[in-house]
Structure 1
Amino acid sequence: MHKDDAVMAVSSPRGAAWYVIQCRANQNFRAQENLENQGFTCFQPRLCVEKLRAGRRRRCHEPLFPGYLFIQLHEQGQSWHAIRSTRGVQKLVAFGDRPVAVPDSVVDSLKLNSENAANDGAPAIRPGDRLRIESGPFANLEAVFQRFAGEERVVVLMNMLHKQHALTLALKDVQKI
């Protein structure tokens, strides 16, 4: 038996352990789909990010660890050959010649945080939202979001001298209230 044909599992109350798989470039989702079609349990934590596409800000989900995913393997001696030959999979992450299990608590924590992020219905900044300016000459003052000015800047409306003024600020310098 070849040294990587059997995965050494760490004892777990459920008789299974989590391992990390390195995927081929930009094939996380393909690898996960193909492994799940073979009956493996996989987990790929995702992060909700805002991206500018076609001039509009959109929320999308991206892998928290691009190029990697978690796989749950049962019992000692489960064949690595089926995993290694799966489309999208490059290798099982190992130290030396031995794959090392990820503690269940780490994966459980990632799952919990991933679910909370998915259930977080907080919308992106929208016109009319109140913002607090965090830095610069107008620090700690409030303004109203008007629109995005590129990818890293926003236009806000601020009441000064009994009149609304439009200011362009760095996106990192404002916080939604």
Structure 2
Amino acid sequence: MSDKNKAKWYVAHTYSGYENKVMDDILKTVENRGMEDVIQEVRVPMEEVIEIKDNKKKVSERKVFPSYVMIKMIMNDDSWYVVRNCRGVTGFVGPGSKPVALTQEEVESMGLEHTVIKFDYNVGDNIRVKYGALEGFLGVITEINLDKKKVKATVSMFGRDTDVELEFNQIESIA
């Protein structure tokens, strides 16, 4: 596993209003110390907000997670020290003083990263269910939902065709 893949997302808690200052300070420290390979990304997730006041539309940005900074890094003593001792940081999110990395699902739901799934199936393809309650059953794909990473398929159960919803990783192609 390369160092790039060992880096995980961690969340640092900051004083309210210090998020951008903390991000800038961490990035400067990383540059000054040559730690770009250890602390790879620092973000304050923002979203656009449209406010309508006096029939005028105003677009502004606001922090998605106020008082938090997201940091993609390889956790070691040096990276922990840099983030923890940055002015405005009160600590990492996690029990006690031990930082806990975000799960891949959390990272994707926060919009920090997106996993690209290679999906080579089409509507009408014959499939076999690899695991789950319908393990071993054969079916035909009737619908594909890339956003939810699921397919709808017609599976023959006990002599009847039944429509089921399956996750991408639950199916395999049969020739």
Using the size of structure 2 for normalisation, the TM-score is 0.49
Using the size of structure 1 for normalisation, the TM-score is 0.49
Q: Which has the higher contact order (CA 8 A, sep 6+)?
A: 1
